Amino acid sequence: MAIVDYDGLWIHAGEEFRDFNGDMHYKHVWQMKHLFTRGDLEGNTFSFTLDDYVYFYDQSTGIRYEGTREEVNLAAGGRIDVLNDEDLFEEVRRLTIIQTIQDHLAATINAHNEKVKKYGIVYQFTLPVFSQEEWSNTIDDISVIAFLQGIPMYNQHYNNYALGGSRLMVRDGYFGTIEDGIKVYYPGRCLNGHEVIETFSSAKQAAQSGYIPRSCLNR
């Protein structure tokens, strides 16, 4: 079983361990969380989430940032392509999450195949092929992935999997206001006494309405 959490992947799988007497045991446990992390050629590191909140380590300065893509992009000087381009950010974010899920599930299943051979089980467990719609639902929502494989049924084996999740709501939204005669917008959590002219569900929607992005750090 696996849980796609807001900022990483949890996997519940069988592990071997020795007790105080040195006897080997096999038990299902939760692995450490696998973060949705990716590096680039410059040595920078991005840790993504199920929305536009991101953790970024700038190799050239040694500074760590966190916040929405826009906030981190502004704080880092707008010089990182993945942060500066909203479409590229979304593409890399989704790819990173999918690869993290695939790689760690495949590694866990392969390790499981090796372990169960010791117990005389010869069935080869494999990672199911998910449809594009299933992947989209998985990386947009906090989800649970459950696998059932190798159950003997007459002269065949029963294999199935299930996906379940709940819709992740937009974190705070955005609001537009006027500063020095200029239309600007902030993340919703920055609201602090300013008159709200308009509200938006995404930064892109605010920009399309003629508002310029501002970070909470500007306030």
Angle between the 86-117 and 132-140 helix axes, to the nearest 10 degrees? Answer: 100
pLDDT mean over 123-130:
73
Whole-prediction pTM: 0.67
Lowest mean pLDDT among 49-58, 187-196, 208-217: 187-196
d(CA 216, CA 188): 9
Provide φ and ψ at 21, rounded to 5°.
-90, 0
Q: What is 10-40 written as a DSSP string?
A: EEEEEEEEE-TTS-EEEEEEEPPPEEEEEE-
Instruction: Please say if the pLDDT value at position 55 is more than 70.
Output: yes
d(CA 81, CA 79): 6
Question: Residues 132-141: pLDDT tens digits?
Answer: 777 776 777 7
The count of other CB atoms within 10 Å of the CB of residue 33 is 13
What letter would DSSP give residue 79? -
Q: What is the mean pLDDT of the chain?
A: 83
